[in-house]
Amino acid sequence: MGSNCFFARGLSGTADIYMSTRDQTSGLWSDPVRVDAVNTTFNEQQPALSWDRETLLFASNRAGGLGGLDLYVSTRTKLHGR
């Protein structure tokens, strides 16, 4: 099982969340890719991954929130049949 690194990058208040993975065999990190499942045209930032790697929490100023940056949760299907 490898490792995941989530981070936000962007300019002028419109950051997006990216992910890079590391293979335990080589120890090298992959080129970052945008996490399109959570990114919008608004500002997404401060990603945090749960211990089981199935829940991503992040802040965004997307429409429908309470104002400013709101906290959002994204979940994915179980990993490795757990």
* pLDDT of the residue at 8: 96
Separation in Å, CA 78 to CA 37, 46, 81, 82: 16, 23, 6, 6
Tell me the pLDDT band of 62, cut-offs 50, 70 and 90: very high
Confidence of residue 81 (pLDDT cuts 50, 70, 90): low
pLDDT digits (tens, 9 = 90+) for 17-38: 999 999 887 788 999 999 999 9
Radius of gyration over every alpha carbon of the chain, rounded to an integer in angstroms:
14
Closest by CA to 58, choosing from 77, 79, 73, is 73
**Which pair of structure tokens corresponds to residue 38?**
């959570």
Are residues 5 and 29 in contact, defined by beta-carbon separation less than 8 angstroms?
yes
Neighbours of 16 (CB within 10 A): 19
- Of 55, 37, 42, 51, the closest CA to residue 3 belongs to 51
